[in-house]
Structure 1
Amino acid sequence: MRSPASEKLGIIRLLEGSHLRAKRRLDRLGIPTFYRWYDRSLALGEAGLEVRKPHPGRVWTRSPDEIREGIECRALDETELSPRERVLRFTDTERHFASEALVYPILKAHDLIASRAFVVIKAIDEIRDKTKRPNQMWQTDFASLKITGRGWSSLGTILDDVSRAFVAWKLCTTLKARDVTDTPELALAASGCDSGRSGTSRGCHPTTAPATSPAI
């Protein structure tokens, strides 16, 4: 937290009237910038002790004003070009490099950026077909893992939608079709279900009655 000018001036007056050496007094107060305060107070008085807001100097990545004005004039003349097309056209004709990050805010300031066509898709508040018992629906997923000394492997898992317990899992060194089909087969064997149907975005549905105690 920066000290106000009045507090800085009070510290200066305190040190001026102290019988202790300035360095010893400053060490006790813990003020490493005192001499800069003192020099500014001698030159400008209390106004020199006001908190000065930091301001950046010259931004070396900023393009010259004449380049920015040239881009702006061309953008107003050829409004159909996109920011990327504008960059390529300007670089080819003016022999001066300009980035898309420079052109985009100029076009946006003059409302020359066309809105992208998009369709709003609203998610439903809750799932319509809710599961009510174990083994009614499973969720499957495959993740790539890097194991030290072994390399990359794929972990296939089957998760029960109700109990949130792992029905089966398999660690594979490849991700072939057989590796993918083995994981549901392991889950069917562990749960006691005969078969299942898949193909939906919500998981695999066993077709037989649920097992009495789902396997983890």
Structure 2
Amino acid sequence: MIEAERESARLKPLLRVLGVAASSWYHRPAAEPKRPGPARKPLDEALKATVVDFATKNPWWGYKRLAIVLRRAGHLVSKKFVHAVFKAEGLMQKRRATKAELYQSAKLFELLPTRPNALWQADVTYIHIPGYGWWYAVTVIDYFSRYLLACHLTASYSAPEVSAAIELAIKEAERLHGPLERTPFLVTDNGSCFLARRFQSAIKDKFRHVRTRYRTPQQLGLLERFHQTLKREEVYWQLYDNPQDSREKLDAFRQRYNDVRPHWALEPADGGDALTPTDVYVKQASIKLPKWQGWAKGAKKKLDEAMQQDAELRRAA
């Protein structure tokens, strides 16, 4: 053992001088391939037909979920068996969009903003200040540019306080763009402050208010994701002395977020590094559509092609 290590120690410097990699020198030819094992047992044809029937009637489910459904229906099948059937029958193919999905995506694209001040989102998040309890940050963001229009810290999220945050957002937008030429959409959830009559009255002539479905925070996903950034890059780094200290630091964060921090969703149309919200909202820089929005844009063309193919098949029949 020791002699072998000494031999190796003397050999490596020599290989280095010769320019030969030690890994190549010590490489050994691969062992002989293993003998093939026993042939796989053929799949039970009756059970296989049952799996195919269920898969045909439920094309939106993968083999794992379908295995559970089959067992709940009284068929003794394993996940491995269903996977084997899927593989044998070519059911593992990539999912194709249905015409209904293409239609919904095409309609969705019509609602997506293509310029600043077309669609805003507003929401409330919690911030704890030591010695003062829970306070609330009412945030308003421009969907297209991701520009943070307002981050209003308040002791309550009543309708007047939320309305005050909206007014701050309007002032910021008008400071940079002048009076709003078109009435923006304002998307909120169904919080009591957004349902209150005082809030509805305050925004009546200024916005087209759209509320998300109940218990679906993902429909307000842009702001939900922004709140995660707010917490990770500001709130979780600070122990605020008092509400005024919190306001000052949140205002510094808003400036940093808008002016300095590159946003991955803001990819310049001509390529290059990611832009900041200020580049897009204030300087009107052109950006590429996010991939999922590009899918929605192309859905209209795909839908037209699918409908045309159906029409040709009907004429041929």
TM-score tier after normalising by the smaller chain length: 0.3 to 0.5
**Larger CA Rg, structure 1 vs 2:** 1
**TM-score under structure 2 length normalisation:** 0.31
**TM-score under structure 1 length normalisation:** 0.40
The structure with the largest helix share of the pair is: 2
Which structure has more RCO (C-alpha within 8 Å, separation ≥ 6)?
2
The structure with the largest strand share of the pair is: 1
